[in-house]
Structure 1
């Protein structure tokens, strides 16, 4: 789960990371009022969206009067901010963060991520801040500093000092840098984050270390332990299909293809998508219905997949271990009778009670295309879609 910049800064501040003074606004008038509250003569107005690259896309503006802030916010509110991370559809701007401008002497990149190779928290830093880490890695690979944290002992002060020295931090600022690193690490580990990024972390002209921007991502499977973090979720920044799936306990990722997938198990879902591509099709989604594939859960999955107007065929691929094929078959039949399904449906069942499941599908009288193997199922799904198109059958996506 992603959160907004102002939320990440509030969290990091609670762990001892210094951040600029700022305030949230939901309208141009409120933004101008926030600036007057903050005081000073220069402010930065930042669109709050779940994406990087806001500055290049016009989502970050420096203002010198409350009138200018009002005019800038008139343009920002309600716009679709398109960055390299949002895709062409962009993200809606419904709130802005007004921040007191700080005099910047130097910018640094700082990130905490889970490194799957070492199975440790990896700290990535660079003396070249204000850029995306991919650009830094490509243009100045020698500037990148890496450090692995041993989970048994946590991030030690000597590691923080080593990072500070490698970044060329002045001796007088080493201890504030140590506090910043340890605070960000504690936020990462104690809140089950998967990523903490401070870019840029700035050294000001009056010798302070401040997190000028911040981004945090959290493990969705751990949110039950952190209700205060779960409350920060902003559904307006999410794919509505993925948001609906999360509310129903389903793992869903929307893609750009036209073959909808309903699968149990993340690995099997990935294999299903690969097989669809090998058969000449394009998967429309990743959907893992999990271990408890009850008829009701399968019916919910059908409704979710069909909410994507690009879906022109559906492939159900279930390997039943904990699940039972007869439950899944009942769910498929229930969904097809309750939901207006106007696309071909291919079902492949294997595992526990597969014979009973096949009988339920056969006796239903519904136009269900059955398959015994994954390859056969993918070929039949792609073939059914192409056959319907060649016969001129009206699909929802082209209606």
Structure 2
């Protein structure tokens, strides 16, 4: 589960990490009231699950009521990289001299957590990681013992952060790791951690992504799940119990198994298409579950075609085919072309059962993806 910035900042603040004073607003008037209460200047920040908000126009600085009204009016309701903005965070602007980066995640290659620090925080941290990875200090953590204070200090020292703020930064890193561990997070991040003229540090942004399978241990976080949805598609995915990620393309992808879906995404890209989503419906493909998956991709206005990639293991191909037929027969009109590829147990029987008046059938994954890409290009043209 991905928390919004305002939700993550509330958790960070409760743990003792300094954050700017802020107010959440869902209307222009609420934003202006928040600015008057906080005092100017303030930052107006779109609350959506996407990076690069500043470059996309989702973050503005306002120095008076008129500027705040104009900024809030522009951001609320905007489409930001495919996400509808329905709320903004109005927070006191930070007068800073430096921007740092702190993060904690799982290093799956090493099989252990890793704490990261960089003196080059800010909007281009992804470029830093790609072009100059040595600028990010990394410290592997034994999960049995957690992040030792000396490890936090070592990471801060190796990142080249000035000595006068190193103790404060190390303290924030220790707290960030404790939150990552105690909240069963997959990722915890502060970018940027701003350094003020007085040598204080303030978390100007906050990321906290929590393992869905651990939410039963965190009822307080589970209560935030509904609020963390950005749009109807994310809300539907939560209701249907799907693993779903919205992307920026126009080829809808449905599969049963994360690896299978990832391979399909790669092939769509390989054949010149642009994936619209990651949607794993999990084991089984009964009519109701298939119909829910199709409802999701058909509801995405960016989708021009759909590829259904199913590998039958325990679930037989003929059962999958009947589920697809039953699901599509519930629609008065198929809104977007659907290509189906079946493989695995009873795949040949399933291919014969599929109603070709409802779907296009291909024998290989490569052929199915190429046809779906061609369908999308035809609609797009």
TM-score (norm 2): 0.81
Q: Which segment drifts farther, 372-381 or 282-291?
A: 372-381
Matches within 5 A, 1:110-259: 110-137=102-129, 142-168=134-160, 173-233=165-225, 234=227, 237-238=230-231, 240-254=232-246
CA distance in 2, matches of 1:78, 1:378: 34
**How far is the alpha carbon of 1:203 from its aligned partner?**
2.7
Q: Which segment drifts farther, 195-204 or 146-155?
A: 195-204
Residues 227 and 326 of structure 1: CA distance in aligned 2, closer, same or farther (over 3 Å): farther
**What residue number does 2:50 align with?**
51
**What residue number does 1:295 align with?**
287
C-alpha offsets along residues 120-174 of structure 1, whole Å, 9 cap, x if unaligned? 2222222233342123346765543221212121100111121233345565654
CA distance in 2, matches of 1:257, 1:173: 43
TM-score (norm 1): 0.78
Matches within 5 A, 1:1-399: 1-38=1-38, 42-66=41-65, 68-81=67-80, 86=81, 89=82, 91-137=83-129, 142-168=134-160, 173-233=165-225, 234=227, 237-238=230-231, 240-254=232-246, 260-274=252-266, 285-308=277-300, 314-339=306-331, 340-341=333-334, 345-354=338-347, 357=350, 360-361=353-354, 366=357, 370=361, 372-375=363-366, 377-378=368-369, 385=375
CA distance in 2, matches of 1:365, 1:134: 45
What 5-or-longer segments of structure 2 have no aligned partner?
none
CA distance in 2, matches of 1:74, 1:284: 28
Residues 250 and 94 of structure 1: CA distance in aligned 2, closer, same or farther (over 3 Å): closer
What 5-or-longer segments of structure 1 have no aligned partner?
390-394
SS for the counterpart of 1:326 is helix
C-alpha offsets along residues 234-289 of structure 1, whole Å, 9 cap, x if unaligned? 46634x44542332122344556665544222222333455566677665544322
C-alpha offsets along residues 332-368 of structure 1, whole Å, 9 cap, x if unaligned? 221232112266655444444556645644xx68565
**How far is the alpha carbon of 1:71 from its aligned partner?**
4.7
Q: Which segment drifts farther, 59-68 or 116-125?
A: 59-68
Aligned length, in residue pairs: 379
SS for the counterpart of 2:45 is strand
Residues 153 and 29 of structure 1: CA distance in aligned 2, closer, same or farther (over 3 Å): same
Residues 19 and 312 of structure 1: CA distance in aligned 2, closer, same or farther (over 3 Å): closer
CA distance in 2, matches of 1:310, 1:72: 27
Residues 378 and 58 of structure 1: CA distance in aligned 2, closer, same or farther (over 3 Å): closer
Q: In terms of Rg, which structure is larger?
A: 1
**How far is the alpha carbon of 1:224 from its aligned partner?**
4.1
